[in-house]
């Protein structure tokens, strides 16, 4: 069964460094999302991406964040200058259409020191 | 304001019993989805119910939706130890596609 994959599973970085989190969505999906979950807290929406552009973003998704679909398979989230409060589990999700279920990857645990 | 709120926050039952979790939300929705998360792991989609549906079943899962009360419930029948996880409801509004999440119910099934 096709699944969303994410790499790395765990990323440790120093404050101020750039990180790129990678995702390979399910191949025939058209909608792509990033969410994050700070330890012990709710899952929070970051951004959605459709037709090679951002369709929605939350207040969390400020100028330090960017997303890209550099080729036909990868979907990346870049954080330009990480802060301590960026430490969280980051989930990528994809879906075939806008109002259907979203399929989640296993997550990347980002630790900013 | 928070869109999805589950209750109870935690539920501990004996294996074989039924588990019921509730979710309330504030604004009109396009659909409501339930997900499971095992400790420290990814989110697994369980079931989606649209605003024009009242009940859906999937295996041992039964979800109801009452749009007049802005609430949903997830029933897991004949619970198993493997059902131990956190369960989240998430809503999708008509105006956008993002999932808006509740805080989750932590379910523990005692063998």
The DSSP code sequence of chain B is: --S-EEE-SEEEEETTS-EEEEEE-SS--SEEEEEEE-TTS-EEEEEEEETT--EEEETTEEEEEETTTTEEEEEE-S--GGG-EEEEEEEE-SS----EE---EEEEEE-
Per-residue confidence of chain B (111 residues) as pLDDT tens digits? 346 678 888 999 999 999 999 999 988 899 999 999 988 778 999 999 999 999 999 999 999 999 999 999 999 999 999 999 999 999 998 877 788 898 899 999 998
Which of B45, B97, B104 is facing A98, going by the closest CB pair? Answer: B97
Q: What is the pLDDT of residues A22-42, one digit of tens each?
A: 999 999 999 999 999 998 888
Task: Return all residues near B22 (Cβ < 8 A) that are at least 6 apart.
Answer: B6, B7, B8, B71, B72, B73, B74
At A30, which CATH number? 2.60.40.10
Domains and CATH numbers, chain B: 5-84+102-110 (2.60.40.10)
* Closest chain A CA to residue B94: A99
Separation between Cα atoms, residue B68 and residue B107, nearest integer Å: 27
- Hey, are the CB atoms on A102 and B99 less than 8 Å from each other? yes
Q: Residues of B numbered 74-103 whose beta carbons fall under 8 angstroms of chain A's beta carbons: which are they?
A: 88, 90, 92, 96-103
Which of B41, B45, B98 is facing A101, going by the closest CB pair? Answer: B45
By residue range, what is the domain housing residue A77? 5-112
State how many domains chain A has. 1
């Amino acid at each position: 069964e096709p699944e969303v994959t994410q790499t790395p599973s765990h990323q440790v970085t120093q404050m101020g460094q750039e990180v790129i989190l990678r995702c390979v969505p399910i191949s025939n999906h058209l909608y792509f999302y990033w969410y994050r979950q700070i330890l012990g807290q709710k899952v929070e929406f970051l951004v959605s991406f459709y037709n090679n552009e951002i369709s929605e973003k939350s207040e969390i998704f400020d100028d330090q964040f960017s997303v890209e679909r550099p080729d036909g398979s990868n979907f990346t989230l870049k954080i330009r200058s990480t802060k301590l409060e960026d430490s969280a589990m980051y989930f990528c999700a994809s879906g075939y259409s806008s109002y259907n279920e979203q399929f989640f990857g296993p997550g990347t645990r980002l630790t900013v020191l | 304001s928070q869109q999805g709120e589950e209750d109870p926050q935690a539920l501990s039952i004996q294996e074989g019993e039924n588990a019921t979790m509730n979710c309330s939300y504030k604004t009109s929705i396009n659909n409501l989805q339930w997900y499971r998360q095992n400790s420290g792991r990814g989110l697994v989609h369980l079931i989606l119910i649209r605003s024009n549906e009242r009940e859906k079943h999937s295996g041992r899962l039964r979800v109801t939706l009452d749009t007049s009360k802005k609430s949903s419930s997830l029933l897991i029948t004949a619970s198993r130890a493997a059902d131990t996880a956190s369960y989240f409801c998430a809503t999708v509004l008509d105006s956008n596609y993002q999932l808006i999440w509740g805080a989750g119910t932590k379910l523990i099934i005692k063998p």
